[in-house]
Amino acid sequence: MTEKKSLLQWELSIADHLPGNSIDCVIFGYKNQELQLLLLHWKHHDTWSLPGGFIGINEDMDEAANRILLERTGLDSVFLNQFYTFGGTKRSKMNEAAYTKRMEFLTKSKIYSSKTMEWLTKRFITTGYFALVDHEKTTPKPDFLSDKCDWIALHSLPELLMDHGEIIQKALEHLRVRLNYLPIGFSLLPKKFTMQDLQKLYEAILQRPLERSNFQRKMLKLDILTRHEKQMTGAANKAPFLYSFNKERYELLLRKGIGFSF
Amino acid sequence: MTEKKSLLQWELSIADHLPGNSIDCVIFGYKNQELQLLLLHWKHHDTWSLPGGFIGINEDMDEAANRILLERTGLDSVFLNQFYTFGGTKRSKMNEAAYTKRMEFLTKSKIYSSKTMEWLTKRFITTGYFALVDHEKTTPKPDFLSDKCDWIALHSLPELLMDHGEIIQKALEHLRVRLNYLPIGFSLLPKKFTMQDLQKLYEAILQRPLERSNFQRKMLKLDILTRHEKQMTGAANKAPFLYSFNKERYELLLRKGIGFSF
């Protein structure tokens, strides 16, 4: 009973939702010096997908995105950013085998009525939202359609449902552009970190090496870091300083932009 | 007969379009050192709106955006960029008087059947596309629902239908951010222009003054300009150089980013 309660319910009444519109959430975390993505693994067949869902008829799209993320993964209070809307006619034809398997499973399992299945198999336009979250502060839980809700490293992504792979690539592009005009890292790094930690994060997002002294100079120039004691792990003279973000200044730059790019 | 032919037709068969999804186009031009917007003025009642329309059931959203712009304004071969999707529940409640007037006109005029009117008055999620076009190379034409299709200066925008004012503001924000990582101006300026012309364009988009020597230094550093003869209008020693864009280098930076921001 306790276990049953912990499973998240994803109810679907088609009359209460806008037809043909969905939302998909690309949730980035950062672990082992690599970007990670929060994905759902479907019960009964081996398919991974982004957490997604539908928009209530009386619900703003931004509200729907937050509700969907909560219902499907248990994550709450995540700041979601809309980044792109995918309106191609061939979205469900990508990785068609997985899509067909999913639809067959849903039909056979009789989770939904045939009318709902008809609604679900129509063409959908989906709007992508992304977020950067501290994976240590989150305890993702799968919903009743999934058996796993896991962080998967960017370099080892499985094949994904429909165009979800493309949606992730677009979110990454968006994140890289964003790096050039907004500060980044607050929700991805521990409270205290070294300059190298910060550089590794930028490198993980840009997927290319950055020059150390140039990176440090630009970062310090932003004036968003507070310097603390040295991190004592090896020889004292080689120990790097620890930094934390100056939250006030960081948030100012989130509003005003950083004024330079990489 | 000739005149009739020149009017653009905007046909609407609801069975051939996705319900609840629309597209709105924010078309920027540049004239008199000011950004201009291409707007439609509705026949029979004094309301302005963005050129917009619906998505065919077998049509990619990007294709639909191009078709809509052509059908409603006569503009072809415009490179449209998707920038944001507006999914609030209260979209048609903004400037509700204008919205009500439009719906009343459409009902009374019996242009559309009552079934189509029912379809039209449901909640719509709209995706915004923007473009920068050379207003001298375009001859916008109103469609059969409009009596004017005009360039209106940004500082003197009329009240607009629904949330179209908000959509324009969002497009502007997007354009300003874009300025920081991509070159801009190719389609907005004449073939040859002075550094001051270019600076005025940037100032019109950012809506703030920029420092002359700093602007010039950054622009020349981009290496996208070819210098030509001086513009002979006053004293020769004060005459400014004319420049043109180096198209090859400009397009390279469109793909790679400019690597600094303002």
pLDDT the model gives residue B131: 93
Is a pLDDT exceeding 80 seen at residue A238?
no
> Mean pLDDT in chain B?
87
**B209 vs B261, residue with greater confidence:** B209
Quickly tell me which residue has 């009902």 as its tokens.
Answer: B107
**A160 vs B6, residue with greater confidence:** A160
**Chain A hits for B14, Cβ within 8 Å:** none
pLDDT the model gives residue A85: 98
- Work out the pLDDT band at A1, boundaries 50, 70, 90: very low
Q: Distance between CA atoms of B68 and B72, rounded to whole angstroms?
A: 6
- Give the nearest partner residue to B259 out of A64, A82, A261, using CB atoms: A261
Q: Which CATH superfamily is domain A2-178 in?
A: Nucleoside Triphosphate Pyrophosphohydrolase (3.90.79.10)
- Read off the pLDDT of residues A82-130 as tens digits, 9 standing for 90 and up: 999 999 999 988 888 888 888 888 888 888 888 999 999 999 999 999 9
**B167 vs B111, residue with greater confidence:** B167
Q: Distance between CA atoms of B134 and B188, rounded to whole angstroms?
A: 5
Q: CB neighbours of B129 closer than 8 A, spacing ≥ 6? A: B23, B24, B25, B26, B65, B69, B80, B81, B82, B83
**Chain A hits for B57, Cβ within 8 Å:** 123
Long-range CB contact pairs, A242-249, < 8 A, 24+: A242/A192, A242/A193, A242/A194, A243/A192, A243/A193, A243/A194, A243/A195, A243/A198, A244/A191, A244/A192, A244/A193, A245/A183, A245/A185, A245/A186, A247/A186, A249/A223, A249/A224
- Do β-strands A125-132 and A17-31 pair in parallel, antiparallel, or remain unpaired? parallel
> Mean pLDDT in chain A?
87
- Read off the pLDDT of residues A190-229 as tens digits, 9 standing for 90 and up: 899 999 999 999 999 988 899 999 999 989 988 999 999 8
| Averaged pLDDT for residues B191-196 | 93
Q: Distance between CA atoms of A228 and A243, rounded to whole angstroms?
A: 6
Q: Is B84 on the interface with A (CB under 8 A)?
A: yes
Smallest Cα distance from A218 to chain B, Å: 12
Where do the structural domains in chain A lie, given as residue ranges? 2-178, 181-256
Is a pLDDT exceeding 50 seen at residue B7?
no
**Chain A hits for B258, Cβ within 8 Å:** 261
| Averaged pLDDT for residues A237-258 | 86
| Averaged pLDDT for residues B18-32 | 95
**B57 vs A13, residue with greater confidence:** B57
**Chain A hits for B92, Cβ within 8 Å:** none
Q: Could you give the 3-state DSSP secondary structure of residue B27?
A: strand
| Fold that domain B181-256 belongs to in CATH | Arc Repressor Mutant, subunit A (1.10.10)
- Letter for the amino acid at B98? A
| Averaged pLDDT for residues A238-246 | 91
pLDDT the model gives residue A11: 61
Q: Which of B217, B211, B201 is nearest to B154 (CA)?
A: B201
Is a pLDDT exceeding 90 seen at residue B96?
no
| Averaged pLDDT for residues B213-224 | 91
- Read off the pLDDT of residues A172-192 as tens digits, 9 standing for 90 and up: 998 988 887 788 888 889 899
| Averaged pLDDT for residues B245-262 | 76
Q: Which of A12, A192, A46 is nearest to A117 (CA)?
A: A12
Q: Is B89 on the interface with A (CB under 8 A)?
A: yes
Residue pair B201/B30 in contact by the 8 Å Cβ criterion: yes
Q: Is A88 on the interface with B (CB under 8 A)?
A: yes
Q: Distance between CA atoms of B49 and B62, rounded to whole angstroms?
A: 20
Q: Is A64 on the interface with B (CB under 8 A)?
A: yes
Ranked by mean pLDDT, the top range of A177-191, A248-262, B198-212 is B198-212
Smallest Cα distance from B174 to chain A, Å: 12
Judge: B260–A257 Cβ closer than 8 Å, yes or no: no
Smallest Cα distance from B123 to chain A, Å: 8
pLDDT the model gives residue A4: 37
pLDDT the model gives residue A106: 84
Judge: A21–B125 Cβ closer than 8 Å, yes or no: yes
pLDDT the model gives residue A10: 53
- Give the nearest partner residue to A85 out of B58, B127, B261, using CB atoms: B127
- Read off the pLDDT of residues A14-68 as tens digits, 9 standing for 90 and up: 899 999 999 999 999 999 899 999 999 988 778 899 999 999 999 999 999 999 9
pLDDT the model gives residue B4: 37
A132 burial (CB, 10 Å; 0-12 / 13-18 / 19+) is buried
Indicate left, alpha or beta for A214 from its phi (over 0: left) and psi (-120 to 50: alpha): alpha
**Chain A hits for B82, Cβ within 8 Å:** 84-85
**Chain A hits for B62, Cβ within 8 Å:** 87-88
Is a pLDDT exceeding 50 seen at residue A7?
no
**A202 vs B109, residue with greater confidence:** A202
Positive or negative CA dihedral for B217, B223, B224, B226? positive
| Averaged pLDDT for residues B172-192 | 86
A225 burial (CB, 10 Å; 0-12 / 13-18 / 19+) is buried
Least confident of A139-143, A203-207, B179-183: B179-183
- Work out the pLDDT band at A236, boundaries 50, 70, 90: low
Which secondary structure element, helix H or strand E, spans residue A100, and what is its range? helix A96-109
Q: Distance between CA atoms of B67 and B76, rounded to whole angstroms?
A: 8
A262 burial (CB, 10 Å; 0-12 / 13-18 / 19+) is middle
pLDDT the model gives residue B2: 34
**Chain A hits for B180, Cβ within 8 Å:** 180-181, 257, 261
- Letter for the amino acid at B52? G
Q: Could you tell me what percent of chain B has a pLDDT over 90?
A: 51
pLDDT the model gives residue B1: 32
Q: Is A180 on the interface with B (CB under 8 A)?
A: yes
Question: Cβ of B138: how many Cβ atoms within 10 Å?
Answer: 18
Tokens describing residue A230: 């040295």
Q: Which residue of A has its CA nearest to B60?
A: A88
